[in-house]
Amino acid sequence: MNKNLPLKSTAKIFNFEHPLILKIITLHDFISTGEYGNKYCLKLDGNPNHLGDILNLDWGAIIISEDLYYEEVSYPVIYGLNIPEIVSSGDVISVSSHGISVYYRKNSNSNVLFVTERCNHNCIMCSQPPREIIDEWRVDVCHTIIEFIDKNEKVLGISGGEPTLLGEKLIDLIKHCKNTLPSTQLHILTNGTAFHKIDYLERILQIEHPNIMWGIPIYGDTPQLHDFHTQVKGSFNKTVHGIYNLASKGQSIELRIVLTHSILDNIRNIMEFILWNMPFVDTVALMGVESTGYAKSNYELVWAEIEPYINEVRHSIKLMQCSPINVLLYNIPLCKLPIELHDIAV
C-alpha cells in the first residue's frame, strides 16, 4: 500500500443530503461476496452507465472515477476525487458536502480510533495539541466505524487526547470492540493517570477484553522532568502509580519515551529507572519528536538532533536488550542511526 496516501480528498457530490459513514466495496468484491446495502459505498472504476440493475440496489453512495454528470439514482454520487486510489475495498469513509475522509484503511497496520481532542495534560511536544471542546460525537462515530472494520484486523489503536477522560464511554467502546472484533488487539494510548486509582481500571478489566496493550508515555526518571514535559504538577506520581496498578493486574504495557532535548540529556538515567523499577513492561518505544503541533511552536525547547547523544542512546538500548523488555525506535530516519540499531527502527 502507498503509505503517502492522504486521509482526505475534496470531491464533487451529487445528491448529497447529510453526512454519512460508509464502507467501500468494489464491483469485484460485490460480485464475489454479494454484499450490498445502504451502509456500502460502491466504488467504480469508470462510467457507471453500463451497470444497469446493479445501480438500482440500495447503495449508501457510489464513487465514480470519471468527472461525469450522473443523475440516474437517488443516493449520493461522488466524483472528481483528487486521488481516486485514496480508498480501496473494505475502507471506511465519511462523506461530507465537500469531500471524503478516510477513517479506516483495511490494508494499513496503523488504524486508530481518534476518540477525543481533550486531555488533562498539556505536553510541550504534543503533536496533537489538546482542545477543551465538547466532542463526544466522536465516540458515536467510532462505534459506527467498529461495526465496519474487518473482522481479521490484527491491531486497532485508540487514541486522543486522553481516552480515559471519556469515562464510561471508553468502557462501552472497549466492550463494543470485544464483541465485534474479538480477535483484534487494542492498543490504547493513555497518559495513565486515570489508573492511579484502581476503581476505574477494575471497571475496564471487568470487560475481560483478552488483548489490550496500554501505551503510556514516561518523560523522565524524576517528577521534575516528567512534570516539566506534561506541564501538570503531580503527573509523574499519578502515571507511575497507574503503571503499577496496570502491572498488578497483569496488563501488557508499552512505555513511550519522546526524545526531546532534556530527555536525551537524561536518556541513560531514564532507561535505568525503567529497568530497575518497571522490569515488567513489555516494550519501551523511543520516539523521535514529531515536528508538528506544540513540538513546532516549542521548537527551541524541544528539538535536539540525535547524533550527539547516539552513544548514550546505543548504550541504554544495549542495556535494556539484556532484559526481557523489547526496545523499539520510532520516527527516526535510518541515516541518523548506527547500522546495529536499524533492526529495531520502525
**Of the candidate residues 102, 123, 218, 240, the single one contacting ligand SF4 (CB under 6 A):** 123
The verdict on 87 binding ligand SF4 (CB under 6 A) reads no
The verdict on 161 binding ligand SF4 (CB under 6 A) reads yes
Q: Angle at Cα 104 formed by Cα 99 and Cα 109, nearest 5°?
A: 140
**Which residues make Cβ contacts (< 8 Å) with residue 91, sequence separation at least 6?**
23, 24, 102, 104, 105, 106
The verdict on 227 binding ligand SF4 (CB under 6 A) reads no
* Contact by Cβ (8 Å): 125, 294: yes
CB of residue 8 to ligand SF4, shortest distance in Å: 21
Question: Residue count at the site for ligand SF4 (CB under 6 A)?
Answer: 11
The verdict on 177 binding ligand SF4 (CB under 6 A) reads no
**Of the candidate residues 48, 130, 192, 215, the single one contacting ligand SF4 (CB under 6 A):** 130
> Which phi and psi (to 5°) does residue 196 adopt?
-70, -20
The verdict on 329 binding ligand SF4 (CB under 6 A) reads no
CB of residue 129 to ligand SF4, shortest distance in Å: 7
CB of residue 238 to ligand SF4, shortest distance in Å: 12
The verdict on 160 binding ligand SF4 (CB under 6 A) reads yes
> Which phi and psi (to 5°) does residue 96 adopt?
-120, 180
**Of the candidate residues 164, 184, 191, 245, the single one contacting ligand SF4 (CB under 6 A):** 191
**Of the candidate residues 38, 47, 122, 292, the single one contacting ligand SF4 (CB under 6 A):** 122
The verdict on 285 binding ligand SF4 (CB under 6 A) reads no
**Of the candidate residues 121, 187, 196, 256, the single one contacting ligand SF4 (CB under 6 A):** 121
| Exposed/middle/buried for residue 137 (C-beta within 10 Å: 0-12, 13-18, 19+) | exposed
Q: Which stretch binds ligand SF4 (CB under 6 A): 38-46, 96-104, 155-163, 220-228?
A: 155-163
The verdict on 119 binding ligand SF4 (CB under 6 A) reads yes
Sign of CA dihedral 317, 109, 201, 140: positive
DSSP code string of 254-286: EEEEE--HHHHHTHHHHHHHHHHH-TT-SEEEE
The verdict on 116 binding ligand SF4 (CB under 6 A) reads no
**Local structure of 119: helix, strand or coil:** coil
Name which of 21, 20, 64, 18 is nearest 42 in CA terms: 64
Q: Which residues bind ligand SF4 (CB under 6 A)?
A: 119, 121-123, 126, 128, 130, 160-162, 191
